[in-house]
Structure 1
Amino acid sequence: MNMRDVMKLYAGRVLLLLSATLSAPGMAADNMKLFGTLIEPPPCTINDGGQVEVNFGSRVGVKKVDGVHYLQVMNYQIKCDPSASARDMTLEIMGTPSDYDTAAVTSNVTDLAIQIKQNGKPFELNKPIAISLTSPPTLSAVPVKRVGATLKEGPFEATATLRAAYQ
């Protein structure tokens, strides 16, 4: 046997020994346990599952839409299972924001949107805020228009989703 044959034999033994060593941990007994409990958050409803409607009436002046006139408080109530009061909650307005105001829901009229306010400040759409279930924020809605736009007379409407969620 020459030196080259000995080296081949030795290399083969090292590989065999190495592969046996690498496979040994796979045969060890389980020593880890993972467990927990899944729960369903207590149910909540907004306005008993009904609509939150804001009616601006039929006398909104096209030249008076300025983000101040016609402000309406949104009448909504969040009711949850009593066990929900200790949980962290968020409130979110989900909808399509206008391209000139991230707190305003687009309407079916060009250059007109409805801005949502929480406690008097613009409530950015699609961005949840932390709330307390015992004292939810006052929400209001007000018509706004694109700066410099001239609105046309006619009916308008806008839709969005008000969502309360647990964190």
Structure 2
Amino acid sequence: MTRFLTLGLLLAVTPPLFAADNMLFHGTLIEPPPCTINDDGMVDVDFGERVGINKVNGVNYRKPVDYRITCESGATGLDMTLTLSGTHTGYDDAAVQTDMADLGIQVLQNGTPFTLNTPLSIDPQNPPVLEAVPVKTPGATLPEGAFVATATLKAEYQ
């Protein structure tokens, strides 16, 4: 009985526990300003009509990829990634498969292979230099003929 009486007295003299609001959460939701690549136009890399079937080696015929990212004001300070997506060749994760067997187009960013479908953190005010170069399956013999490859270049905020 003494035990219950002591507990009762302690509860009677202990002030009740209250939680005070001492945390505040706030912020502002924004929609990042829209950006476009080449004003939503095509990025076209033309290798011309004189690509030698025996000279495709990942070095010859390297061409710049002429693109520009344009964002509306307010984009500074936001994290952006650049992703090149498409079907890669079976021998190079940075090469887009063409419509010709054994021929791909390798894309380089600042001289380094740009792995397809892998986001790359960039500064939209200073985007990486992109280049494209024909590559072939090691040991393959390429036939004559026209070729084409397509991919998607996407810039997005994180």
The answer for unaligned runs of 5 or more in structure 1 is: 1-30
From 31, 34, 44, give the equivalent of 2:35: 44
- Separation in structure 2 between the aligned mates of residue 131 and residue 88 of structure 1, nearest angstrom: 8
CA distance in 2, matches of 1:143, 1:85: 35
Q: TM-score, normalised by structure 1?
A: 0.78
4+ long deviations beyond 4 Å: 33-37
- Structure 2 counterpart of 1:153, which letter? E
Higher gyration radius (CA): 1
Q: Percent identity?
A: 57
List alignment gaps of at least 5 residues for structure 2: 1-20
Give the secondary-structure state (helix, strand or coil) at the position aligned to 1:113: strand
- CA drift of 1:81 comes to 1.3
Following the alignment from structure 1 to structure 2, what is the Cα–Cα distance between the partners of residues 108 and 35? 53
Report the equivalent of 1:164. 155
Find the partner of 2:101 among 82, 106, 110: 110
Per-residue deviation, 1:123: 0.3
1:82: Cα distance to partner? Answer: 1.8
Listed one character per residue, the Cα deviations across residues 92-116 of structure 1 (whole Å, up to 9, x for unaligned) are 1011111100000000000000000
User: CA offsets per residue over residues 12-46 of structure 1, 9 Å max, x none?
Assistant: xxxxxxxxxxxxxxxxxxx9x98764422100000
Which has more helix, going by share of residues? 1
1:45-86 C-alpha deviation (Å, 9 max, x unpaired): 000110000000000000000000000001000000121021
Q: TM-score if structure 2 supplies the norm length?
A: 0.82
1:70 maps to what in 2?
61
Which residue number in structure 2 is paired with residue 150 of structure 1? 141
SS of equivalent residue, structure 1 residue 82: coil
Aligned residue identity for 2:43: V
CA distance in 1, matches of 2:57, 2:73: 41
SS of structure 2 residue aligned to 1:150: coil
